[in-house]
Chains A and B, each alone.
Chain A
Amino acid sequence: MSSWYRLLPFQMDRMQSGHYLCSSIAGDHVILQRETLCSVIDGTLPREHQDAQDLMAGLFLSTDGGHAEVDLLATRLRTRLHERRSLASLHIVVATLRCANACGYCQVSRVHPEARGKDLSDDNADRTADLIMSCPSSRIKVEFQGGEALLNMPVVQRIVERCDAAAAFSGKLVSYVIATSLSHLTDANLDFFAARQVHISTSLDGPQWLHDRNRPSPTGSGWLTTVAGIERCRRRLGHDCVSALMTTARTSLAHADAIVDQYQELGFHSIFLRWLNPFGDAVRHRQRLSYTALEWLTFWQRALDRVLSWNDRGYPMREEFTCLLLRRMLSPHPAGFVDLDSPTGSGTSVLVYNYDGSIYVSDEGRMLAEIGDQTFRLGHVQTHTYAQIMDNPTLRNMVSATMLETTPRCDRCACLPWCGVDPVVNHATQGDIRGCRPTSDHCQRMEGAFHYVVGLLRGPHRDLLLSWAAG
């Protein structure tokens, strides 16, 4: 019995509603009732069925031999893979481990501000800058972290100046971000940031009582310091030169509204709802800090709801994790976020240069090294070239282990075209860089998140979310 159409390969998963989320090879998606799905697969879908056009447009079905659809699907996949090579690559530089704060979930293995031997040296800084600028990408992003990066400003300045000089010569575009709690901010710092267009990224966990509980500070209130710092930065650098991130601690889970409202109150138009990864102090204080994927999902949905309602009230605000999901689902271009990519962006799109000159595949890889696990160390700025770093067998193993098409459960998941895993997190939580999905928090969280966004796209906030997706 011949059919008017031919099936193209696609993925399908049942949603909580009982409908089926189906995604094509290229990542387009449709939602079907089970009965429709069965008839699609059987070859008996009627030509005039209300879902027929969407199924053809989404490249689930082909007509007329399917040769054009094959070309389209192959082209879209090729485009996605090819464009990754020219993405802005991210280089994280740990200027120092010294820090005055005592954040409960600290993942840095920080040391006291007066400690010795935990700063990035001038010599290693120069080699780091040279290595960064030898990366073939035409757009480079350098992010300074710590400890508290401001405690080693001379080295931050040194690297910025050295990179800018190299960029002027090579024509590359370099942008800078400094992640800081703003606790040691001087006017001289601000002058430098203004002159070199350094973007500020700070931590804001929520209202004062919550922020200070998560992030104890010797000054008494880290929140006060941060808010004052934000104000100073905005005045000197411009309103949009400061962005804030939050980390979700166990206490945060019940206060989604308050956290979002705090961001709105402080004039932020963007909030990034992040979960805690199991590293550093977050593991040591697991009882107090940790939560399940489901608990985080509930929190995120509630907070996202709050963000959407602020938009409804005329205050534009975006949630960045949701933006990432939307871009992965709807954009033909790579989303440019190293944490969610297949194969992994760790090591391929991001590199971390530690205060001692060691090079790691990611911040998480560096955190593991601090507790004695050197699995993800790629080399040292004094001894390795960029080519040698990229040639490291660890990197190659990470890439092949994180191609979702080759992992059980991922390979037939409806979220396959959009999802990605972090091999370092897999290694730390499950003892294997490929990881095991049924027991994976990440899997449960991502599946829940994607399904939720799919639902939102069919609701009253569709247009708003589409505008987030397009950036």
Chain B
Amino acid sequence: MRPLTGRITSGDAEPGLYQVADADGLILDRRDAPGQVAIAVDPAMRQPERGDLVSVIPGRMLRTLYRSSAQDNFLFLTNRCQNRCTFCSQPPTVHADDWLIAEVLQAIAHLPRGIASVGITGGEPTLAGPGLLAVLAALTAHHPTCAIHLLSNGRNFAWLGLAQRVAAIGCADLVVGVPIHADSPPAHDAIAGSAGAWGETVRGCLALARCGIAVEIRVVLVRDNVARLEQLAAWITRNMPFVVHVAWMAQEVTGYAATAGDRVWVNPESYHVQLRRAVTLIHRWGIRTSIYNLPHCWMPADLWPWAVKSISSWKVEHPDACTGCRQLAACSGLFATGTRLTPRPFHQSAC
């Protein structure tokens, strides 16, 4: 049966019981209030909050489309992807899942007015084809000032037509975040798990830039690319001087990253020198740059100014061992979903 999409309006007196409003589809139980559906949420699960947007099959499935208390929310367009990146935290599937678009369009209609920003992700959102365009158009229509962060491998933008269509929608503030794994095609393709990935990704970035769309480069730090971080940084400054931001990202050890183990994982201490040189180089050429997903205790102190609290609020944790750490407020924390880093807190007594 099709899921219902709606907004959590209240938690009832009974624990775990919520009202979902504006749901499309059938009202299942006459005992429900008009226009509302009551759902029960397993106490062991994350409890939804008032204002959350959910997709629910009562008794069967609840998926949160939008978390009202989170700073960063992502709209999920498809689980398909052409790439099979070795570190992927969300392994793709191959079946058609166009129904996700309908869900997202519903959610967009109910996002709070004046929402500051939203992300679009997948899998690979451009594989949703016209669905992606519909989502962008809906966002622009309902939330014209909302900043949109589209995460994409960039490959389909190698076809200029798609880049032009996206540009034509006229989003007020659209940034496309594209991962580039290495400065040479074979190395990038090996990490992307797909031959020809580099060529299309690079052309995609150029096409986006040609159409006036802002591009961000994201570099996930894995065993096979940390030796050439500085060279990659230099490559970016020479070949894509137009990028608005470069993010250097430590791994979320889940999905493929978890099963690949040491074939993907790399101890951050082994790349401090390279990371420092890469960040310095990008910064010197006047391009904004940040380090994501590395807790302060696993970064050299001189790089702290570039660290960002990047882990989504519902995925982050500061384990008990972090209590009392001097850097707690500024630190990005660890992935609750999967990490191989253990906290090394900065206590008051330590200098």
Contact = CB atoms under 8 A, between A and B. Distances in A.
Contacts of B231: 53-54, 57
The listed residue with most B CB atoms (<10 A of its CB), out of A330, A332, A333, A467, is A332
Contact of A63 (B185, B202, B206, B285): B185
A71 B185 contact: no
A76 B239 contact: yes
A64 B194 CA distance: 12
Contact of B199 (A54, A57, A64, A331): A64
A79 B240 CA distance: 11
Interface in B190-232: 195-196, 198-200, 202-203, 206, 228, 231
B281 interface: yes
Nearest to B202: A68
Nearest to B227: A53
A470 B199 contact: no
B202 A467 contact: no
Contact of A53 (B183, B195, B198, B238): B183
B187 A64 contact: no
Interface in B152-188: 183-187
A76 B198 CA distance: 18
A53 B230 CA distance: 13
A72 B202 contact: yes
A470 B284 contact: yes
A53 B224 CA distance: 13
A62 B286 CA distance: 29
A56 B206 contact: no
**SS class of chain B's interface: helix, strand, loop or mixed?**
helix
Contacts, number: 58
Nearest to A57: B183
B185 A64 contact: yes
The listed residue with most B CB atoms (<10 A of its CB), out of A62, A65, A75, is A75
Contacts of A54: 231
A79 B237 CA distance: 13
A312 to B, nearest CB: 19
Contacts of B286: 470
The 4 A-B pairs of least Cβ separation, nearest first, read A68-B199, A56-B184, A57-B183, A470-B284
Interface of B: 183-187, 195-196, 198-200, 202-203, 206, 228, 231, 235, 237-239, 241, 281, 284-286
Interface of A: 26, 28, 47, 52-54, 56-57, 62-65, 67-68, 71-72, 75-76, 79, 330-333, 466-467, 470
29 contacts: A52-B184, A53-B228, A53-B231, A54-B231, A56-B183, A56-B186, A57-B184, A57-B231, A63-B186, A64-B195, A64-B199, A65-B199, A67-B203, A68-B185, A68-B199, A68-B203, A71-B202, A71-B203, A72-B206, A75-B206, A76-B239, A79-B241, A332-B238, A332-B241, A333-B241, A466-B284, A467-B284, A470-B285, A470-B286
